[in-house]
Structure formats: structure tokens, C-alpha cells
């Protein structure tokens, strides 16, 4: 019985060592050098008011997940600049089935954004003409459903920007080693 217990403990230890030494990391966590990112106000070229502020608030919530990165509205002292533009919004686009009945609608948000090194001016990451969409059924097609779909788009987009930014920061850390 004691040999079986020791074998299991040993096996667990070997597995833990294998997992921790294989280079795996959690993409949502950044533990590198402390960085400050200036989040410039996004240009809002749509008629949807306060959409830029909603995006900033969503990004801010995502960047609070790591203590090594601060998102700020002040350019002074920032290491990087995260800027973006809301180019267009399409509310809603209707989907049809084979009988020409409306089955659902789709909200589309067209944006562009970039991450730039403030010191060198180098663009580290840029997405031009990026399209984000969210679908919902016709049974709930109204302005509240549009807002819910847009909130989902903004949350998904903010996560992608957060993860992409952390990826670029890790690359910068590797270059300085």
C-alpha cells in the first residue's frame, strides 16, 4: 500500500515538472516588466454616441486582469500607445432562410487599431479594417438586442486586443533579453 502511494505521489510530481517545464504559459497573464499603455480616445466615425467610451471601459476592465500593465488616459510616462478608430457600424443586417423568411440579424462593427512604441515610434501591432460581428434571432430583434449584440462584440474585441497586446509585450521582453 505504501509503495502504491509513493508511486502515485512520484507520478504526480513528474507530471507537474513536465507541465511546468514545457514552456506553457497562460496567455491572459503577463508577468514581465511593468508597462504603461496610453489608451488614446478612439475616433468614432459612427452615429452611435459614446461607443468610444464603451470600448475604453471594456479595455480597461481587461487590462485590470494584470498588475504588470497599466492602462492610462495620460500620454506622459506611457511606454506604448494603443489607438483605434471606429470606422462603421451596421445595425442590423437581416439573414434569410430558403423560404425568404427573416431568421436572424447581424450587427457588424468595423474598426482599426494599433499598438505603437512611444519611445521609438515603431508600430508593434496593427489591425486595419477589422470586422467584428454578432448574430441574434429575429424573435428578439429590437434596439435592446442591437445593444446586447454590440456589447458582446466590444467584449470580444477587447479580449482580442488585450491578448494581442500582451503577446507584443512578451515579444518586446524577448528582444531586450
Write out the H or E segment, with its range, that includes residue 129. Answer: strand 123-137
Instruction: Using pLDDT thresholds of 50, 70 and 90, give the confidence band for residue 138.
Output: low
CA–CA separation, 176 and 6 (whole Å): 44
Place of cell 502515485: 8
Instruction: Using pLDDT thresholds of 50, 70 and 90, give the confidence band for residue 145.
Output: confident
Which sign, positive or negative, has the C-alpha torsion 151, 155, 160, 161?
positive
pLDDT at 4 over 90: no
Helices (H) and strands (E) in the chain, counts: 3, 6
Write out the H or E segment, with its range, that includes residue 139. Answer: none
Give the domains, in start order, of the chain with CATH numbers. Answer: 2-176 (3.40.50.10610)
Amino acid at each position: 500500500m505504501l509503495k502504491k502511494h509513493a508511486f502515485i505521489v512520484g507520478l504526480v510530481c513528474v507530471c507537474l515538472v513536465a507541465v511546468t517545464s514545457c514552456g506553457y504559459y497562460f496567455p491572459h497573464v503577463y508577468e514581465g516588466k511593468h508597462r504603461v499603455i496610453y489608451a488614446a480616445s478612439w475616433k468614432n466615425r459612427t452615429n452611435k454616441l459614446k461607443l468610444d467610451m464603451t470600448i475604453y471601459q471594456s479595455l480597461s476592465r481587461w487590462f485590470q486582469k494584470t498588475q504588470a500593465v497599466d492602462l492610462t488616459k495620460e500620454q506622459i510616462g506611457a511606454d506604448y500607445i494603443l489607438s483605434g478608430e471606429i470606422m462603421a457600424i451596421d445595425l442590423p443586417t437581416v439573414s434569410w432562410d430558403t423560404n425568404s423568411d427573416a431568421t436572424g440579424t447581424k450587427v457588424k462593427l468595423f474598426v482599426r487599431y494599433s499598438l505603437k512604441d512611444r519611445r521609438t515610434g515603431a508600430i508593434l501591432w496593427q489591425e486595419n479594417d477589422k470586422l467584428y460581428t454578432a448574430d441574434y434571432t429575429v424573435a428578439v430583434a429590437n434596439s435592446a438586442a442591437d445593444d446586447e449584440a454590440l456589447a458582446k462584440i466590444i467584449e470580444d474585441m477587447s479580449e482580442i486586443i488585450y491578448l494581442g497586446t500582451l503577446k507584443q509585450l512578451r515579444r518586446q521582453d524577448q528582444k531586450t533579453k
